[in-house]
Homo-oligomer: A and B are copies of this chain.
């Protein structure tokens, strides 16, 4: 049974809320941490956001998100790198445990998946020096293969682990059950990730799934064996915060945020 003291609210779960609303709600519900998306941090301003969060005694499991390293030309990739440095600064300003990276898919009009993967490696490599100098760990998040074309071409934990081997210190992984629950040899890859695990994200895979992006399930409503998954994460040595991140355009996003959070807490304590 997961303890509420490890719960972190990924703010996409209550998508309509501002950072201020998220912080107030965390305090109201006794949720000790959050992982905000950059858009709401930027609306508040990163420094003010950091102050607001720390004054309310909240921890920050991550900042969502950097990445999107792929681009059809050098200029676009440079823009992405610049923006990622800004994201590192924002992550520092809010005291995040890591900057989560969603690495990007195929560049426009490209069918060169291997080339995109090389761009990702080079992009992360280019960002790492800066991130290291800021002491901000980068949490590479492998995304489900159904996002290979348009969001992220790192699609297995094995690929992410391989990249960590190659790029070294300062790069770790953010493991979201939604993306990797199907992966062969998952237990071994989680063990291999070990101390590199910077984030652990939970939700559930619904059957049927009606939308590739916005139909994630609440823990317990789908088919992922979350307790077994959590036991593997624990065995790998991770005892940090556990984020709940649910994109749900037709269900949870239409409910009052406080009702959603009550269910999040109950399911977190019983299903994770």
Contact = CB atoms under 8 A, between A and B. Distances in A.
Contact of A112 (B111, B112, B144, B225): B225
Q: Is the interface of A mostly helix, strand, loop or mixed?
A: loop
A207 to B, nearest CB: 5
Interface stretch (A49-57, A127-135, A153-161, A245-253): A153-161
Contacts of A191: none
Interface size grouping (class) on chain A: 20 to 34
Nearest to A229: B111
Contacts of A106: 207, 223
Contact of A207 (B113, B149, B159, B181): B149
B149 A146 contact: no
Interface in A188-239: 205, 207-210, 212, 222-225
A93 to B, nearest CB: 34
A111 B225 contact: yes
Q: How many copies does the complex hold?
A: 2
Contact of A184 (B159, B212, B222): B159
Interface string A136-152: 00000000111011100
Nearest to A213: B208
A150 B182 contact: no
A150 B207 contact: yes
Contacts of A149: 182, 205, 207, 222-223
Nearest to A187: B114
A205 B113 CA distance: 13
Contact of A111 (B145, B158, B223): B223
User: Would you list the 9 A-B pairs with minimal beta carbon distance, nearest first?
Assistant: A148-B182, A111-B225, A145-B182, A146-B146, A149-B223, A149-B207, A145-B145, A150-B207, A159-B184
